[in-house]
Structures are given as structure tokens and as C-alpha cells.
């Protein structure tokens, strides 16, 4: 187990390192030194001067690269061109917001997906199953941002159940520090999380339906049922335990999906997270922020996969033989 | 099926809790009296930095207006000539020692919010910073007629001008916000654009800085000891939204109390339908146009391959149905301007002559210039080159994107191919300034007076300022000079302005599309709302919420 | 919309129905075909696809207006009516006409990008699986790295670095960022196939690697390739919509479905129809592709009987 874990960890680090290297060279080769006069986006003189000192822009590319890696290890990602502040600061502000959103979406995704999956499995081939199955397939096929726009229009503008943008009421809750503000925060979180969660839940439900069906048909469930246990208990205890494994796979799959979806959903709902930061940085040709955001995103994806793999290994010892 | 019913009930409960809790609890007595009040302003767009000389964003102006004072400010009449209509701010009085020597006496009560007195040294320092090429302030050129600013004693400061002209007082006070020298002197001039001070500024205005959460909001609090009178509204919060429509939705939902402009007709309709909201019309300071680049993109030494030709520009102007374009985008919230001017300018005159809309004439003119559709693809061509150009548009502006798409089709109708270059606002600015475009959809927020507003965009004096399209006609320049010099004599000035603009219109350096009529909206519980058209929040400290109209939002203690 | 347009739409429906019926008649003679049509959503899915393809081909007949034509700009945002069955957009263009012409672009981009993705994916997967050792390691690590960056992020960076991106480059880029998953699938398939007798026999007879891969291995790995192609088109369509929403997709005034949503979005509160119908069209087509993809998977993979 320990050896496997070390190998797996080393592979993850190698991937992140490769992503950093590729983004560095792509951005620098396509873009050259940000201090040159002929650039699409020349740096302000002062920022340029500091970047020059930090990463040695007048030196050969490989020296810059080494300096960049050195700075990276110290947590220094350079200076943003448009935000007038260090990239690391801007990212540190945004990451927790994306994380909360992704987590909330994940909860909705899994909870709703599991509930629907179980329901459909129990009602197999009856009306409820087929209707829900088709609805889920349809929702799963929507462009995420479009679903967000529709929810925003219906629940934000027409019905006014939920706020249309932002993370909290600035008058009562400048900080999330009381039960009331926690509630306010969740209220603001609802629509974006629902947008991301619903699309995912539709996929998750199909997964769980299949898994549950397999389980329900297995002998020990029949046995349990025959022993006279109430149906709900049979399903919840026996079946659920076996259906839990795919959960972990789903987590590994859902995480990158949520991050990708977050790029657009954050833009729709003005959620000040990584996605919105990255999109506006890309539009502004703010390369240091783009590179920083690429790094952070890939770290999160790799980490998500790693966690899924480790959980898998713990849950099912047979997996360990898988190559790292 | 019991399981799913339980789940459904849980979801419903969670949703309900989210809905009910914010409305339900937290009713403490809080603030009472005349100096409570919270104003939430929904603003599309976030400041880049709260340091006046290095930021040009409208939201920055609104925020720094509350933080940093000017020596004197424009009166509600908007008159920029002479000094009669100006009101004292940081300077309690002033006098002219000589025709070109202006002496300000600072108010001895003025304090920086860290307790230091505001001194004449701060004024001299501010002038030095605004005119420093390392700071590279966009206001630098507006101060070029001032030769020197010196201190006589700690509260007396002397401005010396290079020459005498009608709006010299305006130039001395309107462009600069006085900055704290003791806090900024040590900061290297080339680092102002990323100064930490700009994210947590200390000022001398009616409000002090409280917090800035990136991507979300900026909060200011009233300075109860402010020497010109305590502001009535205690907290002012800017909430950043992705666009104007969302801002209005927040306004209607009660999540915000004020927006600067409603912009689109549907927004006005939505606000009219809400009994809680009042609409305040004011003269728009903006005009928008499609500007042609008369020089080759990125190379000012050569003429533009297409737009160097005056007749081609005239044909394109005549091909655009400006009235119907305006109907589509603005309905009745804007007017087609008779030249490059905003509603704010006194020279506005619908009688000014301009090129008519006449697409048939435009098509004939193009054919006469040798542009014909020889290959039958619907686009005119000449010597193997298609009649095609790129139109630069900022993605941040819904209005301009709409105009871009409409114009694209109108020009296609006369056989001209237009590709839209829709780019981010900061990139748009850089390309615009660098002259790297064929044609551009520009919107100017004008100075209150044409004397400074028009020359900087449409004369040779505007090269290096905002004449990005490099329009240059000596006749127009001469007429503008005459008009500026004649400012004291209204009738003479009006004739000169009109002649200048009519000459300019015949040269067709741009298609003047709209001049805005502005509608601000503010919650009805706010009283004494006065809006100065050149800067809508300039008089914010006199707005108030009467004690009997306070709501929980105003009373809450944070 | 006049009588002829309605007739043309009716004609398109009939053509689509006929295509489905004819396919079904032919398919029922084979086992995979029967399995395919046993899937309850397979036939409706096929119908939706056939319908939109017919509409795309017959756009000039079914659409009453040219797609760029701005009918009366002083009166935009007309609600759905007999004249404009899906209303008009903020630029006073007929939504139905744009939807019909847009089907050409959206389906076209989806198909082309998918062809690129599947070709590259199958080639890389086959090479990695066939040669194994360092080739396999190198290629699969590359895939690991590429998968660590969200696709939309890669695309945004590419689009931002390259101004005035021609449409075909955009399509190529979408394709080139979409083959990673396919290559893993194909590799796994090839790894198991290459140990089988018929491959060994081909090699023993002196066939070179190219011939073995293309003549013997890939045709037998067709099932996962076809399925991932069907699902891939849908993904590309969603991606194109997202890019257009951010203003980086197909340039105006071309009527891609994503573009139509983006153009109408600012007016969604007053004219819901012009952003809603293209969104529904995308969802419907992607759903149909998913349904057909699922049915294909079940039909082509005997080990996985439909649950």
C-alpha cells in the first residue's frame, strides 16, 4: 500500500510539473517577453521592472524557467497585469469561493443522483422510472450555462425566490459570522450550485440506477427480503453499501467536470471564483494570472483523482495492483 | 416510496430554511436619528485601483469622489467659465494676484483621516504627481496650461498659468483630487499603478475607506467629523454586478438602493413598475459614435487604405440609418446627436447641418469610387480587394455590441463587409489608444464643457490625447480655437462652434450614433437626491434618509 | 412563414420518419440491429437527428428569411406568431430561420471536430496499445497531463493567444483537445486484441505494424470508437455553445446555436424565446446523440446486455 501510494503521488507531482512546464513555454513562446514594445499587451513599466528582477526577463528562456520554478516553490506566481496585485493574492481570494461552489454542487449532485437512482431502480420500467430517466437524460444534455440562465430568469427575475448575483448581502452580512449570515450565504449559493448540481445529478442518477439494479438482483438481497426485512431497510442497508463503490469513481469523474462547469456558471452568476478570474484574465491577456489559474486547476484535478484512487484502494483492496 | 419522500422533504426544508432565515431574525434596534442610512449602489464594473491619477474607470471616480476632495468643485449650473459658479471645497477662498496667478487658501479644519492636517504641501505634491511622466496620468495634458504650483505658507498655495483663458480656473481645480503627500511621498512614482495605498486609501473626504472584497464590493463609512458637514448616510456600499440588467434586477429585488443609469428601455419600464423606486432624469454626458481610423492601423505616418478617402467615409455615413438604429437600441432614451457632442454641452443644436441618411446615394457614391461587386459575392471590390474592414467593439458594452451587429448588416446591405473585433475592455482601450484598428465604436463621457471636451478628440491638439482616429482639418482647428477664445461671448462662440462642427460633419470622420439621456434610479426612502450630470455622486453627502423612513438595512449595526 | 415553408417542414418530418423506418427495417435482420432498436429511446433519438440533419440540408426551403436578414430593426423582439413561429431576436432576425441555418453550423462543427478527435484518438490509442513499452508509457502520460487541464481552459487559452482565429482552426482545436478519452478506450481494446490468434497470425504472415493495426486491430475495436464518436458530437456542440457564450466561438453574424443564445442573452428578461429555443435545440440534439450512443453501445457490445 505504502509503495503504491508513493508511486501514485510521484506520478501526480510529475503531471502537475508537466502542466506548469507546458503552460510556461506555450505562454512565453507565443507571447515572448511581456516587456517588449511590440506586444499585444505590454506591461506597465513598473510591473515589468519587478518581473524583470524576479524572473530575469532579459535572460535566456531556460534561466527564466528555472527562476519561475524557484519562485513557484516559494508560492510566488508573479504580478497580475490588470488587477494591480500579486497573482497569488488574487487566487487566494478566489479559490475558496470555487471550492464552496463545487462542494455544494457535489452534495446536490450526489444526494439527488442517489435518491433518483434508487427510486428509478425500485420502479424499474414503470412510468416513474421512464419519465424520470428521460428528464434526467434531457437535463444532462443541456449546456450548463444555458440552464443557469434559465434558472436565473425563472427563479431570480420572474419569481424572485433567489438573488441574481453575488455571494451575500453586503448590508447585513459583510462577513459570514452568524447563523443568519450562513443562511444568507446558502441562499446566494443555491442557484449556481443547483445549476452545476442538476446537470451532474442527472448523470449520477443513471449510474446509481444501473448499480442498484445489479445489487437488487443479487442473491443476498433476495435472501434478506425473504427473511422478512422491511423493504426500505433492505435497500438502504444492504444495497446502498454495495452501491457505494461507484460513488468514489463518480467523485473522481465529477470533480474535473465541476471545475469546467464552474468556469461558465461563475460567469453567469457573478460568483467571484477561479473560473471567473481565469476567464477575465484570458480576455485581458493577463498571462501571469492565466498561468497561475492553469496551475491551480490542474493541481485540483490531479488531487481529485488521487483522492478518488486512494479511497478506492481503501474500499476495495483488489484495486491496489492497478498500475500507478 | 418512503425513501424518496423523506429526501424530498429534506430538500424542501433546506430550501425553506434558506428562504426564511434571512427575513426572520436579527431585529435589533440599532441606529436611530438623522445620521443613519445605508446606501447600496449596484455598479457594473469594479475599480482597478482607488488612486485618482492612475485610474480612469467611472466606478473609481464615483468612489474616490467620496474619499478625496478637490480644491473647489463645479456648481450645479455646470458653468465652467470664470470662477463665479465654483464652490469651495478644500480651499475656503481664493483670489487672483495677477491675471495668471491664482492663490488658494486652504480650509484650516481639513484633516486626513489619519489625523494629519491637509497642507499646501499636499497640493504642490499632488500637482507634481499628476504631471509626472512616470505616473503617466491621463489628466496630465489637461494641466498643461499650469506653469507651476508653489506653496506660500502651510495653508496657502499659488498656481501660475502660462496664459490667460476663460476656463483656467476650471483646469486648476476640476482635474486634480488632492492626495496625502505624507503617505505617498516615499512611494516610487513608477509604482503608483500597483500601490498598496490604492487598495486601502486614506483620504480627506466625507467618507473613509472600510473594505474592498475583490469581485464583490467596496464599503465606505461616513466621517462624522467631516469639516464641511457630517454626511447623512452612514454606510455606502458598491456592489459589483456583471452588467446593467443584473444591477437593475438587484435594485428591484431590494438588494440595492441606487443605479447610475438605467441604460435600456426595458430597464426603465421595469423600474417604473416598482412603487419603491424613484427615477431621476439628468443630462447625459456621453455620446457614442463609430470612429474611422484615418491613419493606417498602428502606423500614423501613412493614411488608412480605405478611410484615408473622404468620399468613402461619406458614403458609409450615408449608409447608416442612425434614427432606426437608435430606435432599436435605445427606443426613446437617447437622441441622435448632430455631431460629436453630448447633451451636457450648451452648444447642442439640432439645426447643425450633417450628412443625410441616403443608402441609394451611398451606393452610387461607392460605385463612382470604383467599388463594384465584380465577382457577385454581394461584397464590393476594387483591384482584387474586397471592401472590408474590422470594427473594434468592447465585449463589456451590451449597447455597443448591439450597434456593432446592426451596423454590420446595414453595411452589408450596401456591399461592405464588416468583421467585428469584440475584445475585453482593457484590451479595447489599448488598441483604441494605440490606433490599432480600422474603425471603432467609441463612447466618450465628456467634460462639462466643449472647450476642453471637443479639441481633445477632434483636433490636431488631440493627437496623443483622445483623437485616436487622427482626424485633422486645419479649418476645424482654427474655428475651434476661435470658439474657445470667444467663450465669454455666447453668441459669437455658438456661431464658431456651429461652423466648426458643420465642417467636421462634411469630412465624415465618424458616424455619430447616440447621445444619452440619463435616468438614475434611487430608492424612494432616500430624500434630497441631487445629481450633478458630470458626476452623479458628487453631492452624495447631502443625500439623506429621514429618521421616519429608516429600515432595518439602515439601522443595522455591523 | 408562408405555406411553402410549412410544407417544407412537414416534408422534413416525413423524410426523417422514413429514414428511421427504413433503417429499422434493414437493421431488424441482424442481431445488433435488433438490440439497437430494442432500446426505447433509440428510434426517437434517430428521428430527432434525422430531422435536424434534413432541416440543415433544406434550410433555404424551410426558412422564410435569410439568416442574417434584419427584418425591421425598429421593431425587434417580436413574440412567436404565425409569421415568426419562434419569434424574432433583439436584432429583428427570424429565430426559426437562424435555427434552421444554424443547424448546418452547429451539427457541422460537431461532426468535423468529432472526426478529428476520433481519428487522432484512435490512432494514438492503437499505436500505444500495439507497440506498448515506452511508446505506450510516453503517450499515456501525455494523455494524463492533458486530462489534468479542463478542456475549456485549453481552448480559451488557445483562442486568446490567437486573434482572428479562422473557423476551421477553431474546429481543429476543438477536435485536438477532444481525443484523450477515446485514445484510452482504444488502447485498452487494442491491448486485449493484440494477444488474440488472428493478430498473431497476421504478424506471422509478415504483415507490418501499419497493416496489422489498420486491417486487423482497429476494425475489431470499432465498437468503442463509434460510441465515443456519437457522444463526442454532443460534447463538441455543448463546448461550442459555451465558447460562443463567452464571445469566443463562431463570429457574428453566423448563426450557430451557441451564438444565438449569446446574442439574445441580454434581452432574455423581455424576450425569452430568442435564447430559449436554440438552447432547447442543443439540448434535444445532444440528448438524441446520447440516446443513440447508449443504444449503439448496447448493440455493439454483447458483453453488456441492456439492464
Q: What is the pLDDT of residues C116-162, one digit of tens each?
A: 999 999 999 888 888 878 888 888 888 888 888 778 878 887 777 77
> Any CB–CB contact under 8 A between A149 and chain C?
yes
Query: Among C247, C263, C266, whose Cβ lies nearest the Cβ of B245?
Result: C266
Q: Among all chains, which residue has been given the C-alpha cell 480627506?
A: B204
Q: Pick the residue of A81, A145, A206 with the most C CBs within 10 A to test the interface with C by mutation.
A: A145
Q: Specify the higher pLDDT residue, B56 or B286.
A: B286
Q: Which chains share 3+ C-beta pairs under 8 angstroms with B?
A: A, C
Helix/strand/coil (H, E, C) string of B162-205? CCCCCCHHHHHHHCCCCCCHHHHCCCCHHHHHHCHHHHCCCCCC
Alpha-carbon distances, residue C16 vs C43, C46, C62, C256 (angstroms)? 11, 8, 14, 22
When scoring B133, B216, B552 by the number of chain A Cβ atoms within 10 A, the one with the most, hence best to mutate, is: B216
B273 touches chain A (CB under 8 A): no
Average pLDDT value for residue range A100-124: 87
Partners of residue C68 in chain B, C-beta under 8 Å: 409, 412
- Beta strand spans in B45-100 (E): 72-73, 87-88, 91-98
Instruction: Record the cell numbers describing residue A83, joined without a space.
Output: 488587477
B137 in A contact zone (CB under 8 Å): no
Do residues C150 and A263 lie in contact, with contact meaning Cβ atoms separated by under 8 Å?
yes
pLDDT at res. A234: 66
Mutation site for B-interface testing, chosen from C156, C246, C247 by largest number of B Cβ within 10 Å? C247
Q: Does A165 touch chain C (CB under 8 A)?
A: no
| pLDDT tens track for B479-502 | 999 998 887 788 999 999 999 999
DSSP code of C217?
I
* Residues of C whose CB is below 8 A from B420: 251-252
Question: Does B405 contact C253 at a Cβ distance shorter than 8 Å?
Answer: yes
Q: Is C307 on the interface with A (CB under 8 A)?
A: yes
Name the residue with cell 426613446.
B332
Answer with the residue of higher pLDDT: A19 or B352: B352
Q: Which residues neighbour B222 within 8 Å (Cβ) at sequence distance 6 or greater?
A: B35, B206, B207, B230, B231, B232, B233, B234, B235, B236, B541
Q: Which of A302-311, B142-151, B194-203 has the lowest mean pLDDT?
A: A302-311
SS3 C94: strand
According to the model, what pLDDT value does residue C306 have? Answer: 39
pLDDT digits (tens, 9 = 90+) for C181-235: 888 888 888 888 877 888 888 888 888 888 888 887 888 778 888 888 888 899 8
Residue of A nearest to B45 (CA): A270
Please state, as a whole number, how many other Cβ atoms lie within 10 Å of the Cβ of residue B10: 12
Cβ separation of A278 and C153 shorter than 8 Å?
yes
Residues 68-87 of B with CB under 8 A from A: none
CB distance C91–B325 less than 8 Å?
no
Minimal Cα–Cα distance from A153 to chain C, Å?
A: 7
Whether omega before C253 lies within 30 degrees of 0, making that bond cis, reads yes
What would the pLDDT profile of A223-242 be if each residue is shown by its tens digit? 766 766 666 666 666 666 66
Interface size A-C, in CB pairs within 8 Å, comes to: 121
CB contact under 8 A, C266 and B404: no
pLDDT score at B124:
96
Suggest the residue from A20, A126, A141 to mutate for an interface test with chain C (most C CBs closer than 10 A). Answer: A141
Judge whether residue A185 has pLDDT over 50: yes
In this prediction, residue B476 carries a pLDDT of 95
pLDDT at residue A174, as a whole number: 82
How far apart are the C-alpha atoms of B203 and B210, rounded to whole Å? Answer: 12
Angle made by CA atoms C133, C138, C142, in degrees to the nearest 5: 150
The answer to whether residues B206 and B220 touch, using CB atoms and an 8 Å cutoff, is no
Instruction: Pick the residue from chain B with its C-alpha nearest to A86.
Output: B194
Q: Per the CB < 8 Å rule, is C261 touching A149?
A: yes
Chain C residues 257-286 with CB within 8 Å of chain A: 258, 261, 265, 268-269, 272, 275-276, 279, 282-284, 286
Q: Is the pLDDT of residue B104 over 60?
A: yes
Question: Does any CB of chain C come closer than 8 Å to the CB of residue A40?
Answer: yes
Amino acid at each position: 500500500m505504502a509503495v503504491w501510494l508513493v508511486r501514485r503521488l510521484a506520478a501526480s507531482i510529475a503531471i502537475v510539473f508537466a502542466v506548469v512546464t507546458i503552460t510556461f513555454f506555450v505562454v512565453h513562446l507565443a507571447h515572448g517577453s511581456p516587456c517588449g514594445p511590440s506586444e499585444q499587451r505590454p506591461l506597465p513599466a513598473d510591473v515589468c521592472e519587478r518581473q524583470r528582477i524576479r524572473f530575469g526577463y532579459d535572460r535566456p528562456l531556460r534561466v527564466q524557467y528555472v527562476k519561475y520554478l524557484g519562485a513557484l516553490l516559494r508560492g510566488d506566481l508573479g504580478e497580475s497585469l490588470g488587477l494591480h496585485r500579486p497573482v497569488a493574492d488574487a487566487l487566494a481570494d478566489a479559490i475558496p469561493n470555487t471550492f464552496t461552489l463545487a462542494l455544494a454542487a457535489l452534495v446536490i449532485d450526489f444526494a439527488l443522483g442517489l435518491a433518483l437512482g434508487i427510486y428509478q431502480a425500485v420502479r424499474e420500467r414503470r412510468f416513474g422510472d421512464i419519465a424520470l430517466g428521460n428528464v434526467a437524460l434531457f437535463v444532462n444534455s443541456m449546456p450548463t450555462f444555458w440552464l443557469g440562465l434559465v434558472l436565473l430568469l425563472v427563479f431570480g427575475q420572474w419569481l424572485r425566490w433567489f438573488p441574481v448575483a453575488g455571494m451575500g448581502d453586503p448590508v447585513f452580512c459583510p462577513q459570514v459570522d452568524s447563523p443568519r449570515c450562513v443562511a444568507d450565504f446558502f441562499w446566494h449559493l443555491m442557484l449556481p450550485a443547483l445549476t452545476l448540481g442538476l446537470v451532474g445529478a442527472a448523470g449520477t442518477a443513471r449510474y446509481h440506477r444501473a448499480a442498484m439494479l445489479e445489487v437488487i438482483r443479487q442473491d443476498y438481497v433476495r435472501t434478506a427480503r425473504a427473511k422478512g426485512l422491511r423493504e426500505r431497510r433492505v435497500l438502504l442497508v444492504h444495497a446502498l453499501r454495495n452501491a457505494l463503490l461507484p460513488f468514489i469513481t463518480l467523485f473522481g469523474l465529477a470533480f474535473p467536470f465541476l471545475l469546467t462547469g464552474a468556469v461558465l456558471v461563475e460567469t453567469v452568476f457573478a460568483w467571484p471564483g477561479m473560473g471567473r478570474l481565469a476567464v477575465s484574465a484570458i480576455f485581458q491577456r493577463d498571462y501571469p494570472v492565466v498561468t497561475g489559474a492553469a496551475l491551480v486547476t490542474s493541481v485540483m484535478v490531479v488531487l481529485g483523482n488521487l483522492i478518488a484512487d486512494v479511497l478506492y484502494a481503501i474500499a476495495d483492496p483488489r484495486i491496489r495492483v492497478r498500475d500507478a | 416510496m418512503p425513501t424518496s419522500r423523506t429526501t424530498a422533504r429534506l430538500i424542501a426544508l433546506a430550501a425553506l430554511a434558506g428562504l426564511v432565515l434571512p427575513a426572520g431574525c436579527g431585529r435589533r434596534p440599532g441606529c436611530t436619528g438623522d445620521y443613519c442610512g445605508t446606501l447600496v449602489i449596484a455598479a457594473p464594473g469594479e475599480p482597478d485601483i482607488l488612486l485618482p491619477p492612475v485610474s480612469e474607470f467611472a466606478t473609481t471616480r464615483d468612489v474616490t469622489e467620496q474619499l478625496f476632495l478637490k480644491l473647489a468643485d463645479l456648481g450645479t449650473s455646470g458653468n465652467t467659465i470664470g470662477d463665479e459658479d465654483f464652490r469651495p471645497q478644500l480651499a475656503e477662498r481664493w483670489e487672483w494676484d495677477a491675471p495668471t496667478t491664482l492663490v488658494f487658501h486652504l480650509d484650516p479644519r481639513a484633516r486626513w483621516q489619519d489625523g494629519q492636517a491637509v497642507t499646501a504641501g499636499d497640493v504642490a505634491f499632488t500637482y507634481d504627481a499628476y504631471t509626472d511622466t512616470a505616473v503617466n496620468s491621463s489628466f496630465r495634458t489637461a494641466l498643461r496650461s499650469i506653469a507651476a504650483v508653489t506653496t506660500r505658507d502651510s495653508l496657502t498655495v499659488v498656481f501660475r498659468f502660462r496664459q490667460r483663458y476663460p476656463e483656467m480656473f476650471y483646469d486648476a481645480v476640476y482635474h486634480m483630487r488632492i492626495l496625502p503627500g505624507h503617505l505617498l511621498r516615499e512611494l516610487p512614482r513608477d509604482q503608483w499603478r500597483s500601490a498598496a495605498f490604492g487598495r486601502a486609501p486614506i483620504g480627506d473626504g466625507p467618507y473613509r475607506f472600510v473594505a474592498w472584497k475583490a469581485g464583490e464590493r467596496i464599503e465606505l463609512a461616513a466621517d462624522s467629523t467631516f469639516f464641511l458637514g457630517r454626511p447623512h448616510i452612514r454606510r455606502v456600499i458598491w456592489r459589483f454586478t456583471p452588467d446593467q440588467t443584473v444591477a437593475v434586477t438587484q435594485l428591484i429585488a431590494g438588494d440595492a438602493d441606487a443605479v447610475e443609469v438605467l441604460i435600456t428601455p426595458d430597464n426603465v419600464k421595469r423600474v417604473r413598475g416598482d412603487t419603491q423606486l424613484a427615477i431621476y432624469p439628468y443630462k447625459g454626458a456621453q455620446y457614442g459614435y463609430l470612429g474611422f481610423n484615418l491613419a493606417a492601423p498602428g502606423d500614423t505616418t501613412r493614411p488608412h487604405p480605405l478611410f484615408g478617402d473622404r468620399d468613402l467615409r461619406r458614403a458609409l455615413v450615408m449608409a447608416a440609418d442612425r434614427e432606426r438604429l437608435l430606435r432599436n437600441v435605445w427606443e426613446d432614451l437617447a437622441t441622435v446627436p448632430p455631431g460629436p457632442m453630448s447633451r451636457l454641452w450648451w452648444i447642442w443644436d439640432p439645426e447643425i447641418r450633417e450628412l443625410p441618411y441616403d443608402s441609394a446615394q451611398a451606393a452610387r457614391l461607392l460605385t463612382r469610387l470604383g467599388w463594384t461587386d465584380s465577382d457577385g459575392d454581394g461584397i464590393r471590390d476594387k483591384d482584387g480587394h474586397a471592401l472590408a474592414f474590422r470594427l473594434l467593439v468592447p465585449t463589456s458594452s451590451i449597447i455597443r455590441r448591439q450597434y456593432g451587429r446592426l451596423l454590420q448588416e446595414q453595411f452589408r446591405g450596401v456591399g461592405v463587409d464588416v468583421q467585428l473585433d469584440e475584445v475585453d475592455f482593457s484590451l479595447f482601450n489599448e488598441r483604441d489608444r494605440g490606433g490599432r484598428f480600422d474603425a471603432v465604436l467609441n463612447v466618450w463621457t465628456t467634460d462639462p464643457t466643449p472647450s476642453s471636451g471637443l479639441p481633445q478628440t477632434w483636433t490636431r491638439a488631440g493627437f496623443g490625447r483622445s483623437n485616436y482616429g487622427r482626424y485633422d482639418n486645419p479649418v476645424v482647428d482654427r474655428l475651434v480655437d476661435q470658439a474657445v477664445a470667444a467663450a465669454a461671448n455666447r453668441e459669437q462662440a455658438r456661431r464658431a462652434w456651429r461652423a466648426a462642427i458643420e465642417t467636421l460633419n462634411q469630412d465624415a470622420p465618424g458616424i455619430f450614433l447616440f447621445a444619452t439621456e440619463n435616468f438614475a434610479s434611487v430608492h424612494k426612502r432616500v430624500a434630497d437626491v441631487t445629481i450633478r450630470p458630470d458626476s452623479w455622486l458628487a453631492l452624495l453627502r447631502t443625500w439623506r434618509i429621514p429618521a421616519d423612513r429608516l429600515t432595518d438595512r439602515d439601522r443595522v449595526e455591523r | 412563414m408562408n405555406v411553402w415553408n410549412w410544407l417544407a417542414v412537414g416534408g422534413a418530418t416525413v423524410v426523417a420518419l422514413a429514414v428511421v423506418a427504413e433503417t429499422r427495417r434493414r437493421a431488424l435482420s441482424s442481431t445488433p440491429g435488433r438490440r439497437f432498436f430494442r432500446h426505447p429511446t433509440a428510434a426517437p433519438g434517430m428521428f430527432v437527428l434525422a430531422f435536424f440533419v434534413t432541416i440543415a440540408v433544406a434550410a433555404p426551403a424551410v426558412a422564410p428569411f435569410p439568416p442574417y436578414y434584419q427584418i425591421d430593426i425598429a421593431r425587434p423582439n417580436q413574440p412567436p406568431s404565425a409569421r415568426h413561429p419562434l419569434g424574432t431576436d433583439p436584432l429583428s432576425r427570424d429565430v426559426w430561420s437562424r435555427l434552421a441555418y444554424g443547424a448546418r453550423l452547429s451539427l457541422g462543427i460537431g461532426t468535423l471536430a468529432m472526426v478529428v478527435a476520433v481519428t487522432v484518438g484512435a490512432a494514438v490509442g492503437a499505436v500505444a496499445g500495439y507497440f506498448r513499452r515506452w511508446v505506450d508509457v510516453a503517450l499515456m502520460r501525455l494523455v494524463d497531463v492533458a486530462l489534468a487541464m479542463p478542456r475549456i481552459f485549453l481552448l480559451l487559452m488557445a483562442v486568446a493567444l490567437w486573434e482572428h482565429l479562422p473557423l476551421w482552426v477553431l474546429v481543429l482545436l476543438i477536435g485536438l483537445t477532444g481525443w484523450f478519452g477515446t485514445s484510452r478506450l482504444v488502447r485498452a481494446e487494442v491491448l486485449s486484441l493484440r494477444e488474440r490468434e488472428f493478430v498473431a497470425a497476421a504478424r506471422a504472415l509478415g504483415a507490418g505494424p501499419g497493416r496489422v493495426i489498420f486491417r486487423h486491430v482497429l476494425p475489431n475495436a470499432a465498437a468503442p470508437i463509434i460510441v465515443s464518436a456519437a457522444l463526442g458530437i454532443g460534447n463538441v456542440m455543448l463546448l461550442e455553445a459555451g465558447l460562443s457564450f463567452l464571445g469566443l466561438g463562431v463570429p457574428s453574424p453566423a448563426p450557430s446555436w451557441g451564438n444565438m443564445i449569446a446574442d439574445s442573452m441580454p434581452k432574455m428578461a423581455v424576450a425569452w424565446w430568442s435564447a430559449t429555443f436554440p438552447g432547447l435545440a442543443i439540448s434535444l440534439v445532444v440528448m438524441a446523440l446520447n440516446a443513440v450512443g447508449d443504444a449503439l453501445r448496447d448493440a455493439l457490445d454483447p458483453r453488456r446486455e441492456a439492464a
